[in-house]
Amino acid sequence: MVGKVALITGCSSGVGRELCRTLTEKGDRVVATARSLERLEGVSAALKVALDVTDQDSIKQAIAAVMNAYGRIDVLVNNAGYSVRSAVEEIDLEELAHLFDVNVYGIVRMIQAVAPIMRQQGAGKIINIGSVSGRLTGLVNGGYCASKHAVEAISDAARLELQGFGIQVSVLEPGAMDTDFFRTLSQNSDERMQNSQSPYHPFYQRDLAFRKKQKRADLSKATGEIDAILARKRLKGRYPVALPFVFSLLLALPERLREWLMLRV
Ligand SMILES: NC(=O)c1ccc[n+]([C@@H]2O[C@H](COP(=O)([O-])OP(=O)(O)OC[C@H]3O[C@@H](n4cnc5c(N)ncnc54)[C@H](OP(=O)(O)O)[C@@H]3O)[C@@H](O)[C@H]2O)c1
């Protein structure tokens, strides 16, 4: 039996790259995508295609290449994403717009491109990689958290709209994982966060110190959990992935106590 055709965005590193390996080993026909094909060197996949989730033409060409090769798409994993840190008062609006372009509009563009194909098949799974930051908003992280809260809402709406066509939509909410994510974040944000003139300097310093000692889940553990979720016949709306107990606890606490802890600990 031939494996499922699984299209994944953001496969040049981290979750996307490791998920390509896991699904390929299982026998799925993985379509690995990233902005640049060179960055896909060494990635395990049946097909590699350039795809920038902010570029409609690039998406159109990539989907055409997949349909040309396999004539179907069974699974779409919307994984491409990144983060920047800033206090709300200091967010650069262009930067915020780009963050939403990748993390939110990128997912919407991909759903718009793939849902008609899955509708015609009468089946398909769409997995959106959100974050625990889509449930819990931290200090100096408002922009990224807003984008991941938006992923939750888009996923919920699409899930209700598409289920009658045999398409299941689910959002995954990972905790911190050991990927390039934090390297990209440091490149985007750390210099600005060193500005001692900022009224938010103490918050920035605390965030920088926290990130240095933060425990991050092993990537293969996280993608193992994702693989198990993908193998389910019926998907729930959302799944935590590699979520440390402290976050589950914070989510369960009354708001005032949670905020008190977040400001002090
Ligand atoms: N790592 C964590 O702690 C963590 C926690 C919760 C959620 N997440 C989420 O998990 C997902 C994967 O992140 P990761 O941890 O694997 O980080 P990563 O190693 O930095 O990988 C991010 C991927 O996104 C791709 N990407 C960025 N902009 C893109 C664009 N415009 N079009 C297509 N691809 C683009 C990058 O590819 P190129 O730059 O090579 O194009 C890269 O392959 C993200 O949605 C992230 O928000 C991560």
Known catalytic residue at 200: no
Q: Look at the chain and report how many structural domains it folds into.
A: 1
pTM summary value: 0.97
Q: What is the pLDDT of residue 99?
A: 98
Lowest mean pLDDT, pick from 114-128, 129-143, 145-159, 237-251 = 237-251
Give the chain's end-to-end CA distance (angstroms, integer). Answer: 53
In ligand 1, the atom with minimum distance to the C-alpha of 54 is 31
Question: Of all residues in the chain, what percent carry a pLDDT higher than 90?
Answer: 96
51-110 confidence digits (pLDDT tens)? 999 999 999 999 999 999 999 999 999 999 999 999 999 999 999 999 999 999 999 999
State which amino acid sits at residue 177: M
Rounded to the nearest integer, the mean pLDDT of the chain is 96
Residue of 70, 82, 144, 239 marked active site: 144
Mean pLDDT, residues 210-229 taken together: 94
Model confidence at 129, pLDDT cuts 50, 70, 90, reads very high
| Residue ranges making up the domain that contains 60 | 5-264
Residues in the chain: 265
Pocket flag, ligand 1, residue 238 (CB < 6 Å): no
CATH number of the domain encompassing residue 104: 3.40.50.720
**Banded model confidence at residue 264, pLDDT cuts 50, 70, 90:** confident
Q: Mean per-residue pLDDT for 26-30?
A: 97
Distances (CA, A) of 171 to 27, 31, 54, 217: 24, 20, 20, 19
Residue of 179, 187, 189 best suited for mutating to test ligand 1, as the one with most atoms within 8 Å of CB = 179
Residue 1, pLDDT score? 62
Q: Which residues pair with 46 in a beta bridge?
A: none
Cα of 145 from ligand 1 centre, angstroms: 15
> Which atom of ligand 1 lies closest to the CA of 83?
47
User: Nearest 5 degrees, angle CA 11-CA 29-CA 162?
Assistant: 80
Give percent of the chain with pLDDT exceeding 70: 100
Q: What is the pLDDT of residue 2?
A: 81
- pLDDT at residue 265 in the model: 79
Query: Looking at residues 163-188, what average pLDDT do you find?
Result: 97
- The atom number, within ligand 1, closest to the CA of 132 reads 6
